[in-house]
Amino acid sequence: MRVIVDLEKCCGAGQCVLLAPKVFDQRDDGIVILLDEHPPEAVREAACVCPGAAIKLEDLA
């Protein structure tokens, strides 16, 4: 699985960090930092609850 974040859509809620702290962090202004582009754990919930719809997942074959 590949994670793609849209920094312009990110609203800095931090819901992704709450759900998957090994994959996401935040800058001081709240914008998301992607720690792991290919996380072993499922981050679908983080992508789903993102209030800015800023997280996309690509399933790799």
Partner 1 sequence: MTNPASVLVVGASVGGLAVAESLRRDGYAGALTLLGAERHPPYDRPPLSKKVLAGEWEPDRTRLRADAALAKLEMTTILGDPAVHLDVLGRAVTTASGRRLTAEAIVLATGLEPRRLPGQAPWPGVHVLRTLDDAVALRAELLAASQVVVVGDGVLGTEAAATARAMGLAVTLVGPQATLLASQLGPQIGGHLAALHTRLGVQLRLGAAVEALVGDDERVRGVRLAGGEVLPADVVVVAIGSRPATDWLFDSGLRLGDGVVCDSRCRAAEGIYAVGDVARWHHEVLGTALRLENRSNAVEQGAAVAANILGKDRPYTPVPFFWTDQYDVKIQVHGFAGADAQVAVVDGSPEAGQFAALYGSAGKVTGVLGWNMVKQTRALRQHVVEGTDWSLVKSLRAS
Q: Applying CB under 8 A, does 35 fall inside the site for partner 1?
A: no
- Residues 51, 55, 60, 61: which binds partner 1 (CB under 8 A)? 51
Of 51, 43, 39, nearest in space to 10 by CA: 51
What is the DSSP annotation of 4-58? EE-TTT-----HHHHH-TTTEEE-TTS-EEES-SS-SS--HHHHHH-TT--EEEE
Options 30, 36, 37, 41; binder of partner 1; rule CB under 8 A: 30
Q: Find the binder of partner 1 among 15, 20, 24, 55 (CB under 8 A).
A: 15
Contact residues toward partner 1 (CB under 8 A) are 11-15, 17-18, 26, 28-30, 44-45, 48-49, 51-53
